[in-house]
Amino acid sequence: MKKKHSSVSHVRIRLWIFLILAGLLVLLSLLASLLCPNDPYATSSAVMNHAPSAQFPMGTDRYGRCICSRVLMGARTSIFSAMALVASTFVIGTLLGILAGWFGGVVDTIIMRVADAFLAFPQMVLAIAVAGILGGGMFNAMLAMGITGWTLYARLARAEVLSLKKEPYVQAAKLTGCSSCSIMFNTLLPNMFGPLIVNATTQIGVMMIGIAGLSFLGIGVTEPQAEWGSMINLSRSYIQLAPWAVLAPAGATIVTVMIFNYLGDCVRDYLDVEVTE
């Protein structure tokens, strides 16, 4: 059992701070195209590997593209792909988990055995193989990460449904003649949101790292689209000449993943639920 380290108000303040920080990041990525000091895709042989200056706040890469603009545009790619991925795996996984838990029997066996099969692969190994075989691209990378991602929510939702099933109010809903569909979505779903939301929030950072890793390997988001992982991969062989081309996207990745991970911790502390690792 986890003990609370700090008082409730303290936890709430922390939650708000990180919600605002994460909100700012999302806002920043939404407004990225307006904030870019230069065209993130414009190449120029005149300004290759230039150090940070007034015109290029974070320098340029080996094609003469503005790093700062690319980092900003990369924020959009990273944050939105991670959030869309978490949202879709969350919906699919939760739906399957509720179905398995509520109907039991054959439905449960089929869904959960399939989940077991996907859990037998180390997540990144399967993701690398799937993304590698399908070839690059953001959608394929998301598919590769999501193929195992849904199992987490399915297992959680199923466990929640199984414990909620015995609650008097669920029994009452059943006796008053509510349809299965209505019970699942109107009665059960709102009562199991806590643990699901906490796990979803902690998964944002994990998915971000995963997609960046695939892009770094060249089988995720590919050039010329701006993405932090692929930017780091492209510039790492020139690190002696232009360290800023690596350090800027690296810094952006670290800060963003940390903010979302910390947000996950705060949500967990606030709702006081355990996280499955």
Partner 1 sequence: MGSYLGKRLLHFAWIMLAVSFLTFLLSYLSPGDAAMKKLNAQGIAVSEEVLEKTRENMGLNRPFIVQYGDWALHALRFDLGTSYKDGFSVSEKLVKGLKNTAMLTMSAILLALLISLPLAVLCALKKDSWMDHLIRLLSFIGNSLPNFLISVLLIYYLCVKAKLLPVVANQSLRGLILPCMALAIPICSRFIRQIRAELLEQLSKPYVTGARARGVKGRYVLWNVLHNASISILTIVGLSIGMLLGGSVVIETIFRWPGLGKLAMDAITNRDYPVIQGFVLFTSAIYVVVNLITDVSYRLIDPRLREREDK
Nearest to 21 by CA among 255, 270, 273: 255
Could you say which of 38, 151, 201, 233 contacts partner 1 (CB under 8 A)?
233
Cβ-in-10-Å burial (0-12, 13-18, 19+) of 30 comes to middle
Contact status: 261 vs partner 1 (CB under 8 A): yes
Contact status: 5 vs partner 1 (CB under 8 A): yes
Give how far Cα 175 sits from Cα of 161, 167, 178, 202, 215, Å: 17, 13, 7, 37, 52
In the complex with partner 1, which residue's Cβ is closer, 107 or 173?
107
Contact status: 21 vs partner 1 (CB under 8 A): no
Candidate segments 47-55, 65-73, 126-134, 160-168, binder of partner 1 by CB under 8 A: 126-134
- Beta bridge partner(s), residue 66: 60
Could you say which of 46, 120, 175, 181 contacts partner 1 (CB under 8 A)?
120
Is residue 156 within 8 A of residue 100, CB to CB? The reply is: no
Count of beta carbons in the 10 Å neighbourhood of residue 159? 16
Could you say which of 41, 80, 103, 262 contacts partner 1 (CB under 8 A)?
262
Contact status: 77 vs partner 1 (CB under 8 A): no
Taking residues 202 to 221 in sequence order and writing x for each that binds partner 1 by CB under 8 A, - otherwise, the string is: ---x---x--xx--xx-x--
Six token digits for residue 258: 């940390």
Contact status: 122 vs partner 1 (CB under 8 A): yes
Could you say which of 19, 28, 126, 143 contacts partner 1 (CB under 8 A)?
126
Chain mean position to CA 107: 29
In which element (H, E) is residue 119 found? helix 105-119
In the complex with partner 1, which residue's Cβ is closer, 154 or 192?
154
Separation CA 200–CA 219 (nearest Å): 25
Separation CA 54–CA 66 (nearest Å): 11
In the complex, the smallest distance separating the C-beta of residue 234 from partner 1, rounded to whole angstroms, is 11
How many helices (H) does the chain have, and how many strands (E)?
A: 12, 0
Contact status: 240 vs partner 1 (CB under 8 A): yes
Site residues (vs partner 1, CB under 8 A): 1-2, 5, 113-114, 116-118, 120-130, 132-135, 205, 209, 212-213, 216-217, 219, 229, 232-233, 236, 239-240, 243, 246-247, 250, 253-254, 257-258, 261-262, 277
